[in-house]
């Protein structure tokens, strides 16, 4: 009898074992059930089991109206159709946010903001950087220590990720700049803000444009930055011809929406904020794991958010009506880095009349250099 039991045990199918795979992955997926098509014949009413209050074979399933709650349940809220929303408008609005990747990069950003690009910092800014009064004691050695701290000392891994050491390096360099407060008391009139929300609206030709979102770290100050370009240099921008990229549309890669607020402008802070002026914006490349921008698109992001901060401030000071030329241009600085390459920008808003290509243009000064190759 024991032999027969062993004989039948050999005929029994053996269970297949899957090592390293969970049971839910080895199970056979259930086939999707196709919904039965409902046929409606005009003039013929279907007999349902709705009046009997229970299922009856052979009778059709009743179609009941959607139950509307007499209270507000956020977990089961259903938004109305777009054309029924209160803020719906026929004219589309093209929006730019911190994850937008412009196809044409800097050229497209310059056209959208009506800006003239100037390569290289002016001599006046270079003289300020090279002045011994604006340098830190043992500056080269302390900067190298800041780099080593970000790449070697602040982590236990052999090769830290870009999102780790670039942020640490930026904080270390800002800390070195703060050590000059004893000789430069104006540093004490500034403050850092993180994750603030920006909103600005303008019109460019027949397009309505908005910039929204959070760009990163912002250094605010009590006093505005003096303008970089003089009145003659600003007047000379009227002869500058903006570069086009026909047949590509200027609004390509911008999000088109029909539900929006008109003339929304917000610098991200309340009106009584003691540090109302944007001084320097800091951009970190590669920190957002859900959005990877190429170098050209990263520079376009810097131009757009520098322009957005300056435009929102101009609307607070001069109103939303287009101004052909501002009595006092608004200047905002920007620093972008991926931990190895640093890019400096100075944006000067000279006009808020951005509808046409003629007249005064805005200005942006750009310079980039490689800090280290560790």
Measuring CA to CA, which residue among 244, 267, 296, 253 is closest to residue 96? Answer: 253
Q: Is residue 210 part of a domain?
A: yes
Query: What pLDDT shows up at residue 28?
Result: 62
d(CA 27, CA 29): 6
- The neighbour count for residue 41, using CB atoms within 10 Å, is 7
- Write out the chain's pLDDT in tens, 374 residues: 444 444 444 445 455 555 555 555 555 667 778 887 877 788 888 889 998 989 999 998 888 888 888 888 888 888 889 999 999 999 999 999 999 999 999 999 999 999 999 998 878 888 887 888 888 888 889 999 998 888 888 877 888 878 788 888 999 999 999 999 988 999 999 999 998 999 999 999 999 999 999 888 999 999 999 999 989 999 999 999 999 888 999 999 999 999 999 888 999 999 899 999 999 999 998 888 888 899 999 999 999 999 999 999 999 999 999 899 999 999 999 999 988 889 999 999 999 999 889 999 999 999 987 765 44
Q: Is residue 254 part of a domain?
A: yes
How much helix, strand and coil, in percent to the nearest 5, is found in the chain?
A: 30, 20, 50
Q: For residues 269 and 313, is the Cβ–Cβ distance under 8 A? A: no
- Rounded to 5 degrees, what angle do the CA atoms 267, 213, 315 make? 30
Q: What is the DSSP string of 265-319?
A: -B-SS-TT-S--EEEEEEEETT--TT----HHHHHHHHHHHHHHHHHHHHHHHH-
* Tally of residues, the chain: 374
d(CA 265, CA 320): 9
The model's pTM is 0.81
Q: For residues 108 and 245, is the Cβ–Cβ distance under 8 A? A: yes
Query: What pLDDT shows up at residue 136?
Result: 87
Q: Which domain holds residue 246?
A: 88-130+192-370
Q: Is residue 248 part of a domain?
A: yes
Question: Is the link from the previous residue into 40 a cis peptide, with omega within 30 of 0?
Answer: no
Q: Is residue 63 part of a domain?
A: no
Domain count, the chain: 1
Which segments of the chain does DSSP mark as H helices, in order?
Answer: 2-11, 23-26, 106-113, 123-130, 139-148, 162-178, 231-236, 295-318
Q: For residues 136 and 180, is the Cβ–Cβ distance under 8 A? A: yes
d(CA 297, CA 103): 8
d(CA 347, CA 98): 18
d(CA 115, CA 95): 18
Q: Is residue 9 part of a domain?
A: no
Query: What pLDDT shows up at residue 34?
Result: 84
Strands of the sheet containing 88-96, edge to edge, are: 198-204, 207-213, 88-96, 255-259
Matching residue, tokens 């024991």: 2
- Which letter, b or e, does each residue of 112-122 get, where b requires 16 or more Cβ atoms within 10 Å of its Cβ? bbbbbbbeebe
DSSP structure class, residue 153: I
Query: What pLDDT shows up at residue 10?
Result: 47
- Rounded to 5 degrees, what angle do the CA atoms 114, 295, 233 make? 30
């Amino acid at each position: 009898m024991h032999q027969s039991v062993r004989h039948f045990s050999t005929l029994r199918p053996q269970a297949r074992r899957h090592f390293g795979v969970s049971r839910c992955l080895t199970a056979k997926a259930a086939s999707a059930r196709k919904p039965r098509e409902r046929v409606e014949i005009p003039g013929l009413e279907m007999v349902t089991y709705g009046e009997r209050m229970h299922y009856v074979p052979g009778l059709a399933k009743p179609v009941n109206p959607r139950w509307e709650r007499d209270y507000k349940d956020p977990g089961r809220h259903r938004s109305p159709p777009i054309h029924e929303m209160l803020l719906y408008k026929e004219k589309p609005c093209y929006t730019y946010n911190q994850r937008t990747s412009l196809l044409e990069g800097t050229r497209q950003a310059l056209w959208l903001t009506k800006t003239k690009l100037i390569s290289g910092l002016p001599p006046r800014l270079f003289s300020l950087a090279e002045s011994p009064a604006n340098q830190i004691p043992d500056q080269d050695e302390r900067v190298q220590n800041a780099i080593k701290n970000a790449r070697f000392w602040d982590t236990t891994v052999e090769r830290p990720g870009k999102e780790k050491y670039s942020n640490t390096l930026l904080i270390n360099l800002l800390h070195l700049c703060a050590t000059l407060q004893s000789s430069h008391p104006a540093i004490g009139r500034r403050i850092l803000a993180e994750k603030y929300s920006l909103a600005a609206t303008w019109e460019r030709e027949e397009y309505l444009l908005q910039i929204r979102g959070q760009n990163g770290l912002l250094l605010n100050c009590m006093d505005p930055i003096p303008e970089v370009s003089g009145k003659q240099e600003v007047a000379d921008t009227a002869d500058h011809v903006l570069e086009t990229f026909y047949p590509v549309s200027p609004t390509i890669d911008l999000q088109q929406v029909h539900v929006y607020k008109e003339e929304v402008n917000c610098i991200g802070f309340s009106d009584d904020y003691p540090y109302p002026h944007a001084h320097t914006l800091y951009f970190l490349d590669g920190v957002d794991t859900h959005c990877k921008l190429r170098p050209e698109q990263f520079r376009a992001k810097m131009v757009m958010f520098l322009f957005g901060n300056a435009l929102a401030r101009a609307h607070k000071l001069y109103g939303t009506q287009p101004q052909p030329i501002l009595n006092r241009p608004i200047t905002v600085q920007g620093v972008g880095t991926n931990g190895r390459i640093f890019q400096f920008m100075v944006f000067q808003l000279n006009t808020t009349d951005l509808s046409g290509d003629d007249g005064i243009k805005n200005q942006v000064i750009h310079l980039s250099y490689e800090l280290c190759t560790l």
